[in-house]
């Protein structure tokens, strides 16, 4: 493709690239390193020492007690296979599994990952949008942990340290030099309040109906 028909923006920390070819123009977004981890398979597992997780994503980290059963359900481990680019020999389990076919044998790799999960080296992000309940960013831009003892070996402190390192690699001049604080959405439903309002509106009608029934009942005696 001639250079005059191709323009490439290669700044990975912004948004990437525009390719122009003939009469057609397409905008391609080059995903930054933070969008997924490269050390482990899947979209929600991160090895914090190597994967460049965005500071704003730390509030989505879930409890290791919740993460580990999901990992065991969603992934297979294999001690006989080379891990390749990953730090653990594991891969996503098939959507359908032959009940007569045994699962791959990988107790060694599985035990190694479990230790890393509970030590805070490997984390899993919530599959839901918005913050989880384990970590949050306060008004000063610091990462706080609601349950430090959810991890072993000072895992919460380790995660906070990785968060600080991630913050130091980014430009927050437009946000007073710090990440945005966690926005906690109220989980209270508006349905009860709407029902209460409807009840209050219907109270006069209900009182009038009750009085009418009593009056008619008194005449029938």
Euclidean distance between CA atoms 63 and 12, whole angstroms: 31
Euclidean distance between CA atoms 206 and 182, whole angstroms: 45
Write phi, then psi, for 12 (nearest 5 degrees): -70, -20
Confidence check: pLDDT of 154 > 70: yes
What is the structure's pLDDT at 204?
54
What is the structure's pLDDT at 176?
87
Q: Is 163 left (phi over 0), alpha (psi -120 to 50) or beta?
A: alpha
What is the structure's pLDDT at 99?
80
Predicted confidence (pLDDT) per residue in 17-57, tens digit: 333 334 333 333 333 344 457 899 999 999 999 998 999 99
Euclidean distance between CA atoms 160 and 166, whole angstroms: 10
Predicted confidence (pLDDT) per residue in 158-197, tens digit: 999 999 999 999 999 888 889 999 997 654 443 444 444 4
Burial class (CB in 10 A: 0-12, 13-18, 19+), 155: buried
What is the structure's pLDDT at 76?
94
pTM: 0.67
Q: Does residue 160 contact residue 123 with C-beta atoms inside 8 Å?
A: no
pLDDT higher for 208 or 139?
139
Predicted confidence (pLDDT) per residue in 3-12, tens digit: 443 333 333 3
Write phi, then psi, for 24 (nearest 5 degrees): -100, 140
Q: What is the DSSP letter of 104?
A: P
pLDDT higher for 14 or 165?
165
Predicted confidence (pLDDT) per residue in 82-127, tens digit: 767 889 999 999 888 788 888 888 999 999 999 999 999 999 999 8
What is the structure's pLDDT at 216?
60
What is the structure's pLDDT at 221?
43
Q: Domain limits of the chain?
A: 3-30, 34-175
Q: Where do runs of H (alpha helix) occur along 3-101?
A: 64-74
What's the length of the chain? 221
What share of the chain in percent tops pLDDT 70?
Answer: 67
What is the structure's pLDDT at 30?
36
């Amino acid at each position: 493709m001639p250079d005059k028909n191709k323009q490439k923006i290669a700044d990975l920390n912004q948004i990437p690239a525009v390719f122009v070819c003939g009469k057609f123009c397409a905008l391609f977004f080059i995903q930054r390193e933070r969008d997924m981890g490269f050390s482990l398979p899947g979209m929600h597992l991160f090895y914090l020492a190597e994967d460049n997780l965005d500071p704003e994503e730390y509030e989505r980290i879930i409890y290791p007690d919740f993460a580990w059963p999901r990992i065991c359900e969603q992934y297979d481990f294999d001690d006989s296979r080379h891990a390749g680019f990953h730090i653990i020999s594991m891969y996503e389990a098939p959507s359908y599994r032959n009940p007569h076919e045994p699962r791959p044998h990988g107790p060694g790799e599985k035990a190694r990952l479990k230790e890393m999960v509970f030590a805070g080296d490997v984390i899993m992000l919530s599959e839901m949008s918005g913050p989880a309940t384990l970590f949050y960013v306060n008004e000063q831009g610091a990462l706080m942990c609601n349950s430090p003892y959810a991890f072993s070996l000072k895992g919460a402190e380790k995660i906070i340290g990785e968060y600080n390192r991630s913050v130091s690699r980014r430009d927050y001049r437009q946000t007073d030099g710090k990440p945005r604080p966690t926005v906690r959405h109220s989980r209270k439903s508006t349905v009860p309040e709407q029902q209460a309002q409807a009840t209050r509106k219907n109270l006069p009608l209900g009182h009038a109906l009750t009085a009418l029934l009593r009056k008619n009942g008194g005449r029938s005696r």
